[in-house]
Structure 1
């Protein structure tokens, strides 16, 4: 297993040696330098996972090293070491792009925690950049089933297998998982692709309108029926009918639907003759139909008619490795639609996306990405951070206050707003942190 690599720069040879030993004992690979020039030369050959440097050194100091590295290796996190009481210098370092800073003499365990956090953020940044490149180099993909998780790979394979089989399909999955997208993909990969794909939202059709919507009506069947009209089943002839949320159908309507599926005939309201239909039925359900059958809420014979093949769509929480890819994909599509440029995803935002439960699944993630494309989400985040790095020059007390606020916000973001964990990261009592959170209005 590859060890994370740390470049450590300090002109104090004793401190350099002791710090290097401690970092190596904690599982890192360390390359030590007693001056910044040698570290910069080595960066031409090897790029570490994080660079740690003292600020006050003869010749090229830590601030100059930071500035140079930010230009030559913008993705490399830099942690600076400052002397006691040099808070203003630390604030300047953070504004210049330092990942973090430690005040000498620093706690050895805290140093390791800072290194782990910096590397984790750097890894997240690299993954976000990689995924955004993947999304930018891919086709439009508006109707594609996006994802690299094994469950999604298997889903695409199952769709490809089932699409050519002229059998009814039942798609099961939680709300927002993309069941309709799976249904459309089945249709598009089938021999019926050239014919209509007709979605019917079973939960939205009033019971009284069910027959006329699905089966049609004859002229004079009721007041206002001034001409014959075919229903959705006839309109979809040769194609696919999607019965979305079929579990929402009332029992009497289930019986009428069952008869049509059994006989493959429809009878328009107000007409005595039956008309043959040639459609493939794809139904979706967000509930367990077996349980509904056991509770006498769904007909067993209808279930067997619908479920010639069953396809399960996994919830987003079970394919968390796809979250950032999906987010970048939806953000790109939304930005193009709104004529805006996709915002860069900050590492903290990536961590937050991965930490959320996503009860609304892919649909909820898509909504979040579209909000980001409009600048809504990001504006709120920017305000919550306090914009310490973009604040105008102020007095020392104001600088320290803004910097302290940004550190607390970062710790809260990293910990998923867990105050106890944030207090551990900051190494302050929980009560003190709670008081500061209230003070800064976080």
Structure 2
């Protein structure tokens, strides 16, 4: 079911259009301002935006410009009065799908909406059920849809693939999807993190060893290359592989055989290599930390995973997916997130990407006592401070000013009494008041008598 975001400040027209679109089989979200529309877009990306041009605050044309910047593939239809037709016509030249003048024919509107939606690729969520190779990747964003389409094409070949992307973005999930979509799907998928295994053990883990090859080698050991024979070997964090081992890996890729540590004979292997890194391998090449010949062997095809912040449309979908999974783990009846909590998730920076989102959702599921997870738990999990955290200098300045205000209120603005309570002479006290822009007279009660001579600072 296609999702339409309807933007109009006329409640009657909003209700009428909403009823007509729902009757036509669309899922409709309504808002009355452009600002509310942008907030809604940060939470969930619709398939089409239908907006009036004349709106309070930001108008429909400015809304279109903002949408064009953030979601260039999202179609927009404008509703315009006669006075704004020239602006709407100009907007079509900049990318608005079309515009309709009020009053408009309902059938024409539905036709235009159908035409716009026909140009939009179906959401990746709709494909998930029909494409089991990528069923572990939860997404509806255009960025991920494009990446997965490319991955599916690459999967049918035997070319080596280098997956780039920030830590926690799901590189291993993409590697598994490539394997499932490939002719090797019935054979093993073996993953190894090159940065997590000590250098002294990594060679044995990858290539295997024979009995007696080194102290502690009491048995023959098949390496991961042999374990993945006929299938896919995923080398995660390939950028952390030591240079000495890079030479041996290159030899394996060239000869398509491995020699276990301590062995005199090589063993043939048939393995597709998928590697991944969050490091800048181009910089590592220049610094001599990564071999150029190995780089080109591994980097036949590059797939780049976007960060979670670059695919915000997926955040509500991912959060709900993790909630359903984790609610079962903790044996709780949790239906999802309160609206303000979901908005906080959708607008958070996510430096840790999907891995951080999983951790946040697990924490709130473990602590939640209600069917809808509240904003307070999300803020706690995101480490959003509930009170303002100040630097020492600013905290001291605020305390000093509040302290002086309290003294002046207590003494009805009598500086001599306030200075005495503060254990400071009047000259110093006046300097403090001047520093913080405080005027004693403003604190004097009506009818209060003050000794003007006494209140003057000593020279």
TM band (smaller chain): 0.5 to 0.7
2:170 corresponds to which residue? 178
2:324 corresponds to which residue? 332
User: Which SS does the other structure have where 2:245 is aligned?
Assistant: helix
Is 1:204 the counterpart of 2:167? The answer is no
Q: Pick which of 330-339 and 318-327 moved more.
A: 330-339
CA distance in 2, matches of 1:76, 1:148: 17
2:234 corresponds to which residue? 242
CA distance in 1, matches of 2:43, 2:269: 54
Q: What's the CA shift string for 1:212-260, capped at 9, x where partnerless?
A: 1111111221233233221111111101101010011111111121111
Is 1:287 the counterpart of 2:291? The answer is no
Q: Give the 5 Å matches for 1:270-285.
A: 270-285=262-277
Q: What's the CA shift string for 1:7-37, capped at 9, x where partnerless?
A: xxxxxxxxxxxxxxxxxxxxx21559xxxxx
Q: What's the CA shift string for 1:30-89, capped at 9, x where partnerless?
A: 559xxxxxxxxxx9x8989xxxxxxxxxxxxxxxxxxxxxxxxxx999xxxxxxxxxxxx
Contact 1:203 1:248 in 2 (8 A): yes
Specify whether residues 143 and 206 from structure 1 end up closer, same or farther in structure 2 by C-alpha distance, changes over 3 A only. Answer: farther
Specify whether residues 126 and 195 from structure 1 end up closer, same or farther in structure 2 by C-alpha distance, changes over 3 A only. Answer: closer
1:22 corresponds to which residue? none
Contact 2:7 2:33 in 1 (8 A): no
**Root mean square deviation, CA, Å:** 4.3
User: Which SS does the other structure have where 2:233 is aligned?
Assistant: strand
Deviation, structure 1 residue 145: 1.5
Contact 2:334 2:373 in 1 (8 A): no
Higher relative contact order at CA 8 Å, sep ≥6: structure 1 or structure 2? 1
1:267 corresponds to which residue? 259
User: Which SS does the other structure have where 1:374 is aligned?
Assistant: helix
Q: Give the 5 Å matches for 1:15-414.
A: 28-30=9-11, 144-376=136-368, 384=376
Q: What's the CA shift string for 1:296-342, capped at 9, x where partnerless?
A: 11111110011111111011111111111111111112112333222
Deviation, structure 1 residue 282: 0.5
User: Which SS does the other structure have where 2:336 is aligned?
Assistant: coil
CA distance in 2, matches of 1:214, 1:235: 9
Q: TM-score, normalised by structure 1?
A: 0.58
Deviation, structure 1 residue 127: 5.7
User: Which SS does the other structure have where 1:271 is aligned?
Assistant: coil
Contact 1:217 1:230 in 2 (8 A): yes
Deviation, structure 1 residue 347: 1.6
Q: What's the CA shift string for 1:401-440, capped at 9, x where partnerless?
A: xxxxxxxx9xxx9x99898xxxxxxxxxxx9xxx9xxxxx
CA distance in 2, matches of 1:197, 1:176: 20
Gaps of 5+ in 1: 5-27, 33-42, 49-74, 78-113, 386-408, 420-430, 436-442
Contact 2:323 2:365 in 1 (8 A): yes
